[in-house]
Structure 1
Amino acid sequence: MDEVDFRTLPTEAGGPPDRNPYAALADLAPAAAFVRDVTGHYVWANHAYAHLYGTTRDAVIGRHLADLDGPADVARFLTLDQEVMTEGRPVRHTLTYQRADGCSGHAAGYRFPVRWGATPCVAGIYVDVTDYSQVLDQRHRAEADLRALRDHSGLACVRLTRGGRVSEAGTAVAEVLRVRLSDLIGLPADTLLADTPERATLQRTWGDLITGRRRSARVSAVLVDAEGWQRRARIQLTAVCDTVPHVTRASRVSGVWAVVTHLGLRDRAQPALTAAQVRILALLAAGGSNADIAEELHLSRQTVDYHLSRLRELLGAATRPALVARAYVLGILSPQAWPPRSATAAHPSSPV
């Protein structure tokens, strides 16, 4: 790169340097710029550069680096200047400096050789990236916290793309599904679900989330592991939105976090129960007798007896207490509700 003479750039009809339109442009540019001689004295600086130190350009020009920066920074900056002068080419880098408020600032840009009249100098053009660096650090810390929560909290959670594929997953999910974590990444979520009535409801809810109509939802599903065993699960879904201004919520949704909040007993096959059978289980869990259940559901005693007999067969439970226990461990009844109700109820006040 040829050295540029800052004082002999084209001017209007050979006018003086202070009328140089290029100098005026550099002086008012938002990027911080300076020119220093080999001893570390400023021969020129623009307003943006002076602003970094909380002063004016006239107060910078003519002063030495040591008047603005600490001893460690002075030594580092002079070394960079000498590197540029020796190699005779631009150097791109980032640096930290002491701001006027006492905090550390961060800048990114170029340092390159120039001539100020007959004097060889070093020029620099930098953009203050302090705020950006702080935001980036905060984001990295948040992502690290999220990874720690995902991997060490014991929560079964996955992040899904808009297309419904697993992009991130916690070790707890891999254990539940009996797969290696590396094999789980990239799988379509549909392949992890049993074909149950809850699946259709979940798909409709998914559509609402990725189109921006809903931010979160709680759904039920039956998970299928690599060995073909099933577990009924309660799942919290939350849409993940990118912070892009001036776009619709739907276009900002980049994926969905799915967190399993309740997991039923692992079983070879989940019984397909009717709404009436689930309601009977809920009334039974609440302590209702056969007569109470018959009255509540407007059924005959014989019909209730038949349903209970059928339920004992379906759930593999020999007694009424065992029937209630199986309903809870299989995830048919919600362990977080009283009076007892179905774990798949769409609303807390709905029994089924």
Structure 2
Amino acid sequence: MDDSTFKALSRTGTPGRYAAFADLVDLAPAAAFIRDSDGRYLWANHAYAHLYGTVPEQVIGRYIEDLDEPADAEQFRALDQEILGRGTPVRHTLAYRRPDGSAGRAVGHRFPVRENARTCVAGIYVDVTDHLRATVQWQEAEENLQALRDHSGLPCALLSANGRVVEASAAAAELFQVSPHDLVGRRAHTLLAPSPDLARLHARWNGLISRRTRRVETSAVLVDAHGLQRRAQLHLTSIGHSSTGHPSGGHAPVGHAPVGHSTSRARHVWAVVTHQSLAHEAHPALTAAQIRILSLLAEGSSNGDIATSLHLSRQTVDYHLSRLRHLLGAATRPALVARAYVLGILAPRAWPPRSATAAHPLSTV
């Protein structure tokens, strides 16, 4: 079949075995061609011509050497002869030189076709150069992220949408007094101590997974393998997305039902601990009034000032302070303030002093 016959067959609708196929492939994103045994192009689609920075009309009728460098042309002719000799399709990865001089790579099949009593070589390829380049860049980014994670010294973990630890830094494993191997696979809610702010943490997690929010800064009480607790400042960031309502099933990380169906859900959440209190044994949860008293005490207020600010009697304030010294194991007022900070009851970076669980920076409780 000569080039004019094939072009007429593929573009005019003239009856023929490959006319409809040629019309379809001509506009396909995969690069396709047909060459005769002499290396002359009988047909090429737009995607194939684009690899050479031209159009199909400028490819048809030309020879391999007219388009490719000598070394590439020699390789392509050898592949054609292999197909003609074997008579069976061959799948392989093809390296070539792009018009801009950069290296390209394509993956596809080359196979024999029979036309007008002649055996020709057809090929169809997908250019994977950009995909491979993106893969390399992604791998480099992953390696850089891992190096940053391992050398930053910050406890951090990658959590799945259903709250399971996927990756964890050495600092995170040390925080929970377990090995990194034992930490991976754990449910996040098993690492949290019961506390009044769990409901708020759950709501914020749902916002991340449903992608209503991208980043959250909050706090939680963590519990290690020995049962010791510490309050930690958490930075949560959602990454990736999926189109299914429940990509991996299971329960939310704080032990509640999973998030409802959504058209776009986060697949993972990065959790980073930036501040943490000293490890301590569990103590009874403090009331809002007790925390407010501690914040005023840390500010330097006297018992009388505290009573006036909170509209309490002096005797009530004295009782609360006595109770707090007992709960926190602090014998003096300075020791009580110090314990409130090292146990994570008061926020370490806030002035005036305020609760570490306050929802807003200006809130006092």
Structure-2 residue corresponding to 1:47: 46
SS of 1:328 mapped into structure 2:
helix
C-alpha contact 1:241 1:249 (8 A) present in aligned 2: no
Structure-2 residue corresponding to 1:33: 32
SS of 1:201 mapped into structure 2:
helix
Structure-2 residue corresponding to 1:205: 204
Structure-1 residue corresponding to 2:341: 328
What are the equivalent positions in structure 2 for 1:170-185 lying under 5 Å apart?
A: 170-185=169-184
TM-score (norm. length: structure 1): 0.84
Compared with structure 1, are the counterparts of its residues 270 and 40 closer, same or farther at alpha carbon in structure 2 (3 Å cutoff)?
Answer: farther
Compared with structure 1, are the counterparts of its residues 211 and 16 closer, same or farther at alpha carbon in structure 2 (3 Å cutoff)?
Answer: closer
Structure-2 residue corresponding to 1:337: 350
- C-alpha separation in 1, matches of 2:51 and 2:93: 15
Identity among equivalent positions (%) equals 61
Tell me the CA shift for residue 32 of structure 1. Answer: 1.6
1:295 paired residue among 296, 308, 316: 308
Tell me the CA shift for residue 334 of structure 1. Answer: 0.9
Higher alpha-carbon deviation: 78-87 or 177-186? 78-87
Structure-2 residue corresponding to 1:266: 279
- C-alpha separation in 2, matches of 1:147 and 1:270: 36
| Cα-Cα RMSD | 3.3
Tell me the CA shift for residue 26 of structure 1. Answer: 4.3
Structure-1 residue corresponding to 2:218: 219
Structure-2 residue corresponding to 1:143: 142
String of CA shifts for 1:269-291, please: whole Å, max 9, x gaps: 24522212211221222222223
Tell me the CA shift for residue 33 of structure 1. Answer: 1.4
Query: Match for 1:183: what amino acid?
Result: D
2:339 corresponds to 1:348: no
Structure-2 residue corresponding to 1:190: 189
String of CA shifts for 1:134-156, please: whole Å, max 9, x gaps: 44444333333333333332222
SS of 2:202 mapped into structure 1:
helix
What are the equivalent positions in structure 2 for 1:85-96 lying under 5 Å apart?
A: 85-96=84-95
C-alpha contact 2:242 2:267 (8 A) present in aligned 1: no
Structure-1 residue corresponding to 2:331: 318
Structure-1 residue corresponding to 2:162: 163
What are the equivalent positions in structure 2 for 1:71-90 lying under 5 Å apart?
A: 71-90=70-89
Structure-1 residue corresponding to 2:153: 154
Structure 2 residues without counterparts, runs of 5 or longer: 245-260
Tell me the CA shift for residue 161 of structure 1. Answer: 2.5
Query: Match for 2:51: what amino acid?
Result: L
Count of residues in Structure 1 that have an aligned counterpart in Structure 2: 343
Compared with structure 1, are the counterparts of its residues 283 and 21 closer, same or farther at alpha carbon in structure 2 (3 Å cutoff)?
Answer: closer
C-alpha contact 2:2 2:42 (8 A) present in aligned 1: no
Query: Match for 2:157: what amino acid?
Result: V
Compared with structure 1, are the counterparts of its residues 174 and 40 closer, same or farther at alpha carbon in structure 2 (3 Å cutoff)?
Answer: same
Structure 1 residues without counterparts, runs of 5 or longer: none
String of CA shifts for 1:117-138, please: whole Å, max 9, x gaps: 4554432111233444444444
SS of 1:167 mapped into structure 2:
strand
String of CA shifts for 1:55-96, please: whole Å, max 9, x gaps: 132322343333323344334433433443343321222333
Compared with structure 1, are the counterparts of its residues 226 and 82 closer, same or farther at alpha carbon in structure 2 (3 Å cutoff)?
Answer: farther
Tell me the CA shift for residue 349 of structure 1. Answer: 0.8
Higher alpha-carbon deviation: 178-187 or 200-209? 200-209
Compared with structure 1, are the counterparts of its residues 64 and 138 closer, same or farther at alpha carbon in structure 2 (3 Å cutoff)?
Answer: same
Tell me the CA shift for residue 294 of structure 1. Answer: 2.3
SS of 2:297 mapped into structure 1:
helix
Compared with structure 1, are the counterparts of its residues 55 and 264 closer, same or farther at alpha carbon in structure 2 (3 Å cutoff)?
Answer: same
